[in-house]
Structure 1
Amino acid sequence: MIYETMLGNNFNQLHPKLQERYRLPLGQPFHAQGTMQVIHSGPRFLRPMYHLFTKTDFLFPENGEEIPFTIMNTARLNNEKEAEVYWERTFLFPQATRKFNATMTVDLERQIVKDYLGDPALFYSDLKMDVTNDGSLMIRSADQRAVIGQTEVALPKKLTGRVVVTEGYDDVLDVYTIHVSIYNDLIGRMMMYAGQFTPCAQ
């Protein structure tokens, strides 16, 4: 829905399986499960902050390999009757279950996706979307803000997390693939995970 609107004619250049995944009609969630081959959190000195973030289903301190996870995307109408997509990502570490949730809407005037991270949101990011030559979806972050209750404060570039997401489809393995990187110029990697998943019944 919102992604088809955002990408316009480029939506048809996505791999057919990604087109199927990102159409997301209202009331028909996309639910999948898979494995993250690798998850890297941020540096050790950020772990206390990441533990606090877990209370709002945002970043988390754990690292691991071959971590089971699930993802659910639900298209719905928000209080302003705008179409939005709610993202629920759940990572099943041996000692803890962590979530990384977000809510996205579209700003057609600025040609960006508005992404509120956390539940309730702690951070906001403009997202720009494009389609690669092989039909994968490329997502990159732009301006970001801290969310403090009803107030949003613009973050200087040095404090932002540069986000790059690539989602594709492997025709040989018949799986969706995902690679997410969040990087800050001052402290380095804030989060990275890479894995694959397949749709499943709810």
Structure 2
Amino acid sequence: MTIYTTLLGEKFQQLHPKLQHRYALPLDQEFFATGVMSQIKNGGRLLSPFYCLTSKANFLFPESGQEIPFSIANRCAMNQDGEVEVAWERTFHFQNAERKFNARMTVDLEKKLVKDFLGDIPFFYSDLHFDVTKEGFLIITSGVQKVMLGKAGFTLPKILRGRVTVLEGYDDQKDVYTIHVSIYNAVLGRVMMYAGEFKESVH
């Protein structure tokens, strides 16, 4: 078993079968998919300096748009610390730019959460809590967040955190995965939102 099956335990079987396939992700295997984001929204000009910084690390980015083609790749492997790790690479193909939103995830079984290191230069960290809805969707919410300087982490106060909510499902009629991601700050409002559909494909 890998990190998501281990973390969710019996709840994993309550996921839609297609989500079970997507998140089982055995060691040294890859899940690749392509699709379209019907909508991508950022938080506006006030956050432009922040987006400029994070986009250089393949994290958040300043572009917004509709009907944006994208791809997603997940790879499961052992990292240098001997932990099972899942790499996430999301690529968004805007008309004038290609943006990536990358992350690496491991699991903390004691705390029953996923440890999410965001960007290619992992200067931002978030606890993630995984659960399953009665409809068989996967819902992910954020908890403690830190700014990382090397291996040292400085916990952000709640007022500075981006409250993350991810809802991933499967539409049997369309035969597509569905995704809705919201990152919201109590003071600044929306930091980023995107929603769309995708299908598994061969890389």
Distance (whole Å) between structure 2 residues aligned to residue 66 and residue 47 of structure 1: 22
1:109-142 Cα shifts (integer Å, max 9, x gaps): 0001000011111210111010001100000000
Q: Percent identity?
A: 58
TM-score normalised to structure 2 length: 0.98
How do residues 60-79 of structure 1 correspond to structure 2 at under 5 angstroms?
60-79=61-80
* Corresponding residue number in structure 2 for 1:32: 33
Structure 1 CA distance for aligned equivalents of residues 121 and 5 of structure 2:
26
Give the partner amino acid of 2:17: P
Measure, in 2, the Cα distance between the counterparts of 1:70 and 1:177: 13
143-152 or 16-25: which moved more?
143-152
Task: Using the TM superposition, give the Cα deviation of residue 52 of structure 1 relative to its aligned residue in structure 2, in angstroms.
Answer: 1.6
Counterpart of 2:131 in structure 1 is: 130
The Cα shift of 1:187 comes to 0.3
Shift of 1:148: 2.0
Partner of 1:92: 93
What does residue range 137-152 of structure 1 map to in structure 2 within 5 Å? 137-152=138-153
Query: Structure 1 runs of 4+ off > 6 angstroms?
Result: none
CA shift, 1:171, in A, is: 0.2
The gaps in structure 1 that reach 5 residues or longer are none
After superposition, residues 95-114 of structure 1 pair within 5 angstroms as 95-114=96-115
The equivalent residue for 1:16 is: 17
1:149 offset after TM fit, Å? 2.7
Q: Partners of 1:148 and 1:168 in 2: how far apart?
A: 35
Amino acid at match of 1:178: I
Q: Indicate the SS of the match to 1:53.
A: helix
Give the C-alpha shift of residue 4 in structure 1: 0.3
Shift of 1:43: 2.2
- For 2:81, the aligned partner's letter is E
- Per-residue deviation, 1:48: 2.1
RMSD, aligned CA:
0.7
* Paired residue type of 1:85: V
Which amino acid is 2:53 matched to? L
Q: Distance in 2 between matches of 1:148 and 1:47?
A: 22
List per-residue Cα deviations over 1:36-93 (Å, max 9, x = no partner): 0000011211112201211100000000000000000000001121101000000000
Counterparts of 1:49 and 1:27 in 2: how far apart (Å)? 34
Give the Å deviation of 1:98. Answer: 0.3
Query: Could you state the TM-score of these two structures normalised by the residue count of structure 1?
Result: 0.98
User: 1:48-67 counterparts in 2 under 5 A?
Assistant: 48-67=49-68
Q: Unaligned 5+ residue runs, structure 2?
A: none
